[in-house]
């Protein structure tokens, strides 16, 4: 990464490609404000103890790891770095939000632009090589961490030596399997219980807290991950217990929040929603609508799904959208029989986005004010009664 | 001081529940997603609170549906670990909105663009000699990056250019 930084400094592209601003002065102004906001949220971050680091030249960056498909579908592992800040999303720029005064500016996300120009590759490795040389990935991660630690501590100058920047590696991101591999977690999403009971208690499903940890004996507390209240039971366990036995290689030498090391591994909201919950939500909601609404003029599930497919195509036409997957059927919802649990059978996030927008439109026409079925009304309208129940513990807390 | 802090916190939670009561689950998540795309890296605290409530409305709608279906004997709305990680995003937004003037947009941690990027070296690796795959991929990646950097010099989107 230090070679990339030197190249970007020498070609005067660093403010544009790592911070999403046009000039060095704008970068100084943006980064000063960035670290002031960051300090309010993470006052104990070790970067604030380093007196040699000029925060107006300290660029926050994320790293990313994932596997792509190479020749004959062989997995190819890629490690790259990119700036936390960029030029923004299309909506952000279209609304002119990048023109706001610095104190009110949201600072653009790193979305616009060719990814070759704002993502900086560190290495690629075929899985076959990882298998043949078991320590190779750790060695690469150690080298990367060493380089990032040097960039955070001493920084990097341009060839003339008159400009210096520091790079602060604030988090690493990836999908859940990639993060769990990178951190060597002993509590991961794959530990989720799949049966009603088991001999061995679940150790937890989250690297940041003890959610999903089952009681292994009397007096041992249980923190259900299904608790979705505003103040969940697992809240008290956030960053209480490290999710690893040995500190992951990628963390070595980095300035971190000492009490929030596990939160360095951030999960992706887009994956969690569009390639996770939304697949279940849409599929189950459609099946519930098919089974529970009494406005249908046809009898069979297949004909109702066919009607929905046609309705979805009409919706896309009206909105000027190109449907990525246009069929709502038993196959696309993985629903061969009524006892099955429906789940979307697609692997593109865009499909979930389009289907969720369609379901919103469908519910306005056929659910809101048209039925009193509890599941369907809850799917579109959150139950206020449940919120009230959730609120009761806080009332007792107030009394205390 | 502790009592004042606690009272302020409870007021904040009360306010959060008041907003949650008004939210709708499928409408809430669609609104939340569009809202996140319209923001930058930082979201003002009052807006972050609203965003977290939309996310909570969806999450609670999802678990309530799962609960009702299970009681009726149907397997619908399967609960999965991703539910918990989305909950972490909503919870953290709420915590950060209490702590500072701004909270971090959860979309900053999304890997949408990175997924696009991963596909590029992967595609390159399918077009080179398999015996020299690592060297060739890195060499070609550097060429592609140089070309893209030159093109991006002319891209003015999202920049405030000096006069």
Domain count, chain A: 2
Inform me whether the pLDDT recorded for A20 exceeds 70: yes
Residue B38, number of CB atoms within 10 A of its CB: 19
CB A354 within 8 A of CB B33: no
Q: Are A106 and B103 inside 8 Å of each other by CB?
A: no
Residues of B in contact with A21 (CB under 8 A): 159-160
pLDDT tens readout for residues B106-152 = 999 988 888 888 888 788 888 888 788 888 888 888 999 899 888 98
* Interface test with chain B among A116, A140, A343, A364, by most B beta carbons within 10 Å: A116
pLDDT at B154: 87
Measured distance CA(B86)–CA(B98) in Å, rounded: 19
Inform me whether the pLDDT recorded for B22 exceeds 70: no
Measured distance CA(B19)–CA(B10) in Å, rounded: 14
Q: Mean pLDDT over residues A51-71, rounded?
A: 89
pLDDT tens readout for residues A131-187 = 888 888 889 999 999 999 999 999 999 888 888 999 999 999 988 888 998 888 988
Measured distance CA(A27)–CA(A29) in Å, rounded: 5
pTM: 0.86
A102 touches chain B (CB under 8 A): no
Quote the minimal CA–CA distance from B32 to chain A in Å. Answer: 11
Residues of B in contact with A116 (CB under 8 A): 117, 120, 141, 144-145, 147-149
The full 3-state SS of A82-134, as one line of letters, equals EECECCCCHHHHHCCHHHCCCCCCCCCECCCCCHHHHEEEEEEEEHHHHHHCC
pLDDT at A395: 40
Among A142, A162, A180, the domain-final residue is A180
pLDDT at A396: 36
Nearest to B81 among A68, A205, A284 (CB): A205
Q: Are B159 and A21 inside 8 Å of each other by CB?
A: yes
Q: Which residues pair with A64 in a beta bridge?
A: A80, A173
pLDDT tens readout for residues B55-112 = 888 888 888 888 888 888 888 888 889 999 999 999 999 999 988 899 999 999 988 8
B11 touches chain A (CB under 8 A): no
Quote the minimal CA–CA distance from A228 to chain B in Å. Answer: 6
Q: Are B160 and A22 inside 8 Å of each other by CB?
A: yes
Q: Are B36 and A269 inside 8 Å of each other by CB?
A: yes
| Higher pLDDT pick, A57 / B20 | A57
Measured distance CA(A19)–CA(A5) in Å, rounded: 12
In a domain, A99, yes or no: yes
In a domain, A27, yes or no: yes
Among A119, A149, A180, the domain-final residue is A180
Residues A166 and A19 in one domain: yes
CB A68 within 8 A of CB A90: no
Among A158, A180, A202, the domain-final residue is A180
Q: Where are the beta strands (DSSP E) in A278-382?
A: none
List chain B domain ranges.
2-107, 112-152
CA angle A42, A3, A76 (to 5 degrees): 85
Measured distance CA(B55)–CA(B63) in Å, rounded: 13
Structure tokens, A117:
């120009």
Residues A39 and A169 in one domain: yes
Give the pLDDT band of residue A389 (cuts 50, 70, 90): very low
Residues A280 and A141 in one domain: no
Residues A166 and A287 in one domain: no
Domain that holds residue A156: 2-180
User: Is ipTM over 0.90?
Assistant: no
Give the number of beta-carbon pairs within 8 Å between A and B: 359
Closest-approach residue (CA) in chain A for B59 = A228
pLDDT tens readout for residues A100-141 = 899 999 899 999 988 888 899 898 888 888 888 888 888 999
Residues of B in contact with A185 (CB under 8 A): none
Residues of B in contact with A276 (CB under 8 A): 80, 82-83, 86
Residues of A in contact with B13 (CB under 8 A): 230-231, 394
pLDDT at B17: 47
Instruction: State the virtual CA torsion across B158, A156, B122, A182 in degrees, nearest 10.
Output: -110
In a domain, A261, yes or no: no
Counting residues of chain A whose pLDDT is more than 90, the rounded percentage is 30
Residues A176 and A279 in one domain: no
In a domain, A96, yes or no: yes
Residues A288 and A169 in one domain: no
Burial class (CB in 10 A: 0-12, 13-18, 19+), A197: exposed
Q: Which residues pair with A169 in a beta bridge?
A: A61
B17 touches chain A (CB under 8 A): yes
Q: Are B26 and A205 inside 8 Å of each other by CB?
A: no
pLDDT at A89: 92
């Amino acid at each position: 990464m230090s070679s990339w930084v030197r190249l970007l400094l020498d070609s005067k592209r660093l403010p544009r490609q790592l911070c999403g601003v046009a000039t060095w002065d704008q970068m100084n102004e943006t980064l000063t404000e960035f670290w002031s906001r960051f300090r309010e949220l993470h006052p104990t971050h070790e970067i604030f103890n380093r007196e040699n680091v000029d925060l107006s030249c300290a660029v926050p960056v994320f790293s990313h790891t994932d596997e792509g498909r190479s020749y004959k579908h062989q997995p190819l592992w890629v490690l790259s770095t990119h700036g936390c800040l960029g030029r923004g999303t299309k909506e952000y720029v279209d609304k002119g939000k990048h023109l706001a005064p610095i104190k009110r500016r949201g600072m653009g996300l790193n979305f616009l632009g060719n990814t070759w120009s704002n993502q900086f590759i560190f290495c690629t490795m075929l899985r076959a090589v990882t298998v043949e040389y078991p320590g190779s990935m750790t060695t690469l991660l150690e080298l990367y961490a060493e380089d990032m630690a040097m960039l955070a501590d001493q920084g990097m100058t341009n060839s003339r030596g008159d400009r210096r920047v520091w790079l602060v590696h604030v988090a690493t991101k990836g999908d859940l399997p990639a993060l769990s591999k990178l951190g060597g977690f002993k509590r991961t999403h794959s530990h989720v219980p799949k049966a009603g009971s088991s001999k061995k208690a679940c150790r937890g499903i989250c690297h940041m807290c003890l959610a999903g940890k089952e009681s292994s004996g009397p007096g041992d507390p249980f923190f259900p991950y299904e608790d979705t209240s505003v103040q969940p039971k697992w809240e008290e366990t956030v960053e209480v217990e490290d999710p690893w036995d040995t500190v992951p290689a990628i963390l070595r030498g980095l300035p971190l929040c000492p009490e929030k090391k596990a939160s360095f591994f951030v999960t992706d909201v887009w994956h969690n929603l569009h390639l996770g919950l939304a697949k279940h939500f849409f599929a189950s909601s459609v099946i519930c609508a098919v089974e529970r609404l009494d406005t249908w003029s046809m009898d069979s599930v297949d004909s109702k799904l066919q009607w929905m497919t046609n309705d979805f195509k009409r919706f896309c036409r009206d909105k000027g959208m190109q449907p990525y997957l246009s069929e709502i059927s038993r196959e696309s919802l993985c629903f061969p029989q009524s006892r099955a649990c429906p789940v979307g059978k697609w692997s593109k996030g865009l499909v979930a986005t389009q289907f969720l927008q369609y379901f919103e439109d469908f519910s306005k026409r056929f659910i809101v004010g048209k039925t009193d079925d509890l599941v369907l009304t809850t799917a579109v309208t959150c139950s206020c009664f449940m919120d009230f129940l959730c609120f009761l513990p806080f009332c007792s807390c107030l009394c205390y | 001081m502790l009592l004042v802090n606690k009272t302020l916190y409870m007021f904040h939670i009360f306010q959060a529940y008041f907003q949650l009561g008004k939210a709708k689950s499928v409408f809430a998540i669609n609104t939340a997603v569009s809202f996140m795309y319209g923001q930058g890296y930082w979201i003002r605290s009052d807006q972050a609170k609203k965003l977290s409530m939309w996310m909570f409305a969806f999450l609670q709608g999802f678990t309530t549906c799962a609960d009702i279906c299970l009681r009726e004997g149907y397997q619908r709305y399967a609960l999965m670990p991703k539910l918990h990680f989305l909950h972490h995003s909503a919870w953290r937004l709420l915590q950060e909105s209490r702590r500072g003037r701004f909270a971090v947009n959860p979309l900053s941690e999304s890997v949408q663009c990175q997924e696009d990027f991963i596909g590029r070296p992967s595609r390159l690796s399918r077009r080179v000699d398999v015996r020299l795959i690592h060297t060739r991929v890195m060499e070609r990646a550097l060429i592609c990056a140089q070309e893209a950097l030159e093109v991006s010099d002319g891209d003015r989107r999202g920049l405030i250019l000096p006069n």
